[in-house]
């Protein structure tokens, strides 16, 4: 299916959409929708603990330099094998933040603490 160029939003004068190439208006378009394919498959995203609360317990301020609190959590994506998918596909999971990063392995928590995430399978930070 070829969607071509889809006009999503346009601000211009009266008289309807001015589609000429030299039109003086603000126009947002989407292209490439024909590159999207739909799959008859599904993926379960699971977060553990199921409560979605990572509990570090009580942390004393005077022990933070010598005791590094740790708590495990996991996010998994699992293909539904019973769905009888007709196409092969891959699933990737990643974390994204707009918060300030301290370096490549630590997230600045905004309270004087840093959080480091370690992949337990690869042992990479």
Residue 35 exposed, middle or buried by CB count within 10 Å (0-12, 13-18, 19+): exposed
Whole-prediction pTM value? 0.42
Identify whether residues 109 and 75 lie together within a single domain. yes
Identify whether residues 100 and 120 lie together within a single domain. yes
Identify whether residues 20 and 61 lie together within a single domain. no
The number of folded domains in the chain is: 2
What are 69-83's pLDDT values in tens digits? 778 788 888 877 777
Identify whether residues 97 and 68 lie together within a single domain. yes
Q: What is the DSSP string of 79-121?
A: E-GGG--SS-----------SPBSSSSEEE-SSS-EEE---TT
What are 85-100's pLDDT values in tens digits? 777 777 777 766 777 6
Identify whether residues 97 and 114 lie together within a single domain. yes
Domain residues for 49? Answer: 39-124
């Amino acid at each position: 299916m070829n969607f071509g160029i889809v006009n999503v939003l346009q601000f211009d004068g009266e008289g309807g959409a001015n589609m000429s190439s030299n039109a003086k208006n603000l126009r947002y378009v989407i292209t490439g929708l024909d590159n999207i394919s739909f799959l008859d498959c599904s993926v379960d995203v699971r977060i553990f603990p199921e409560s979605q609360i990572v509990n570090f317990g009580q942390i004393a301020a005077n022990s933070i330099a010598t005791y590094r609190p740790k708590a495990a959590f996991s996010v998994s994506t699992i293909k539904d094998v019973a769905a009888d998918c007709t196409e092969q596909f891959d699933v990737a999971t990643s974390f994204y933040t707009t918060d300030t990063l301290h370096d490549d392995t630590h997230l600045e928590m905004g309270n004087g603490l840093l959080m480091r995430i370690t992949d337990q399978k690869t042992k990479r930070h």
